[in-house]
Amino acid sequence: MQQLTLPRPDDWHLHLRDEDLLATTVPASAEVFGRAVIMPNLVPPVTTVELAMAYRERILQHLPEGSDFRPLMALYLTQQTTVEIVEQAAQNDEIIGFKLYPSGATTNSAAGVTDIEALDAVFKAMAELQVPLLVHGEVTDKQIDIFDREKVFIDTKLRPLLARHPKLKLVLEHITTSDAVDFVLEQGPNVAATITPQHLLMNRNDLLVGGIRPHNYCLPILKRREHQEALQKAAVSGSPKFFLGTDSAPHGQSKKEAACGCAGCYSAPAALQLYAEFFDRMNALDKLADFASHFGADFYGYRRATEEVTLQRESWQVPATVDTAIGPMVPYWANEQLSWQLV
């Protein structure tokens, strides 16, 4: 196969950041994707419908001419989130749901949730109104090994949450373990998961062997090979519970290559090509359209895309850096070869 045409994909987990950086991040994703779920972990966080709509307007100002890219806004869940805010979100077509960050779990998550059980009235409203909950699934207890934090979160937080609210529409984002795959498969059709290119293409050896590789550092952290293989199997299984979410997370090169480097892989410049690389390696290119273009839209209740994009089998090298208003950024897979290009 030398060409592959598929419906325009959607990115169900995307960080664009804000202000001057939007001039780089928005066109990079809008070139490929039709829709994207925009993460709300700005400083200060996007906690209300009003803040989300203002952020959306800033994003739209940076769309390439003629682009119909649609940013779908997530609200940042905090201990101060109310049922009234959930009701407002349910009435706004541009708000897709709420993002649950355990406080301290990842970039700009200090304002996140500290007591999940105390928000039961909010989760009840979300379940009744079918407002999705998008979950960063890790505990933050310093006594818990970083490689076990996803499993512990699933067992101690998610299972009890869904037992209390079985109709809650929930996406476990950027899953990294076989435990997460099993959990999602055990649940009903109201539970799904996104998978990133880095967790499909790499494991923790790619982070730690031969020296620490800061541009492969993300949260949740890369896990051992057996977990990578479980994700790979899920992605090509044809199950509608697993779909594309890049978690593309831009950071300046100077902040990644630092004594205390930040977490996140900026995959947007080669996002679809990276997924194509993985599906090709798995001899499963026939499954890419469902994973990238269909299953996420189906889960969230949007129409499937009718516009198409085409990939051509032609080797190219991901650039070493991307110039931005905050200085150079190193994209994920920098200086490495990919086998597929966008036509």
For the beta carbon of residue 208, count every other beta carbon within 10 angstroms.
14
Is 136 annotated in some ligand binding site?
yes
Is 11 annotated in some ligand binding site?
no
DSSP character at residue 187: S
Buried b (16+ CB within 10 A) or exposed e, 69-93: bbbbbbbbbbeebeeebbebbbeee
Is 167 annotated in some ligand binding site?
no
Residue 28, CA atoms < 13 Å, CB-side half-sphere: 24
Is 255 annotated in some ligand binding site?
no
Is 205 annotated in some ligand binding site?
no
Is 219 annotated in some ligand binding site?
yes
Is 133 annotated in some ligand binding site?
no
Coil, helix or strand at residue 271: helix
Is 247 a residue of the active site? yes
Identity of the amino acid at 257 = E
Is 99 annotated in some ligand binding site?
yes
* Contact between residue 201 and residue 235 where contact means Cβ atoms under 8 Å apart: no
Bridge partners for 172 per DSSP: 135, 193
Is 174 annotated in some ligand binding site?
yes
* Contact between residue 8 and residue 307 where contact means Cβ atoms under 8 Å apart: yes
Is 121 annotated in some ligand binding site?
no
Coil, helix or strand at residue 55: helix
User: Out of 10, 11, 179, 247, which one is annotated catalytic?
Assistant: 247
Task: Please state the residue numbers annotated as binding site for substrate.
Answer: 15-17, 41, 136, 219, 251, 263
Question: Would you please indicate which residues are annotated as catalytic (active-site) residues?
Answer: 247
Binding site listing for Zn(2+): 13, 15, 99, 136, 174, 247
